């Protein structure tokens, strides 16, 4: 991982920690609900241009600029927050397990990142998320078939599924127009 990628990931983590810290202080002072009138929405970090995908690249989505006019965007990468490095080998879901291309089971890391995303949503009252389609974490409708052949199938990533099961509305980057 390059120094720039490491710094970007560290910066995202620091932002999340500081945000949670300050929101906790504001919540304790019962000021948070008075000063925050903009609805918050969880966004996959790669969609805002953070280089956090498995190749160390971004999947920037230009439509996010339109979302910024209506929502406060909270950027999050469940794979990085679950402890996976950048770059990393590809991962796919097979039989309810997340398997790395070399055969290692990384389900624990994916579950950890998903639970951190859910905790953030619950804490901040987030009810909507825009997630990266086809991702083993964030796929909302499609994921890869689990055999690293490039074939996609209907299914949800680990984080998308957990959020949806807990009442969070999940959208792919292709569905942003539904939120405008």
pLDDT of residue 20: 67
pLDDT of residue 110: 98
Q: What is the pLDDT of residues 123-147, one digit of tens each?
A: 999 999 999 999 999 999 999 999 9
Decide which of 55 and 12 is more confident.
55
pLDDT of residue 10: 73
pLDDT at residue 77 above 60?
yes
| CB distance 147 to 34 below 8 Å | no
pLDDT band at 54 (very low <50, low <70, confident <90, very high): very high
**Exposed/middle/buried for residue 111 (C-beta within 10 Å: 0-12, 13-18, 19+):** middle
Closest-CA residue to 77 (of 27, 17, 9): 9
Q: What is the pLDDT of residues 6-49, one digit of tens each?
A: 566 677 777 776 766 666 655 555 554 445 578 999 999 999 99
Closest-CA residue to 171 (of 33, 63, 98, 80): 63
Give pTM, 2 decimals.
0.81
pLDDT of residue 51: 96
Decide which of 17 and 79 is more confident.
79
pLDDT at residue 5 above 90?
no
CA distance 146 to 153: 9
Q: Which residue(s) pair with 171 in the sheet?
A: 130
pLDDT of residue 79: 97
CA distance 3 to 98: 28
Q: What is the pLDDT of residues 83-127, one digit of tens each?
A: 999 999 999 999 999 999 999 999 999 999 999 999 999 999 999
Quick one: CA dihedral 22, 110, 11, 35, positive or negative? negative
């Amino acid at each position: 991982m390059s120094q720039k990628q490491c710094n970007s990931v560290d910066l995202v983590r620091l932002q999340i920690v500081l945000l949670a810290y300050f929101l906790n202080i504001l919540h304790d002072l019962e000021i948070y609900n008075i000063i925050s009138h903009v609805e918050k929405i969880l966004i996959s970090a790669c969609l805002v241009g953070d280089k956090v995908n498995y190749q160390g690249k971004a999947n920037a989505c230009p439509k996010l600029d339109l979302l910024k006019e209506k929502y406060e965007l909270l950027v999050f990468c469940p794979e990085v927050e679950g402890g996976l490095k950048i770059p990393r080998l590809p991962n796919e879901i097979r039989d309810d397990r997340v398997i790395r291309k070399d055969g290692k089971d990384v389900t624990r890391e994916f579950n950890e990142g998903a639970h951190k995303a859910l905790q953030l949503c619950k804490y901040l009252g987030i009810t909507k998320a825009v997630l990266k389609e086809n991702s083993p974490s964030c796929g909302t409708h499609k994921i890869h078939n689990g055999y690293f052949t490039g074939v996609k199938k209907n299914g949800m990533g680990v984080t998308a599924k957990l959020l949806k099961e807990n009442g969070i509305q999940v959208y792919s980057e292709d569905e942003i127009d539904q939120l405008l």
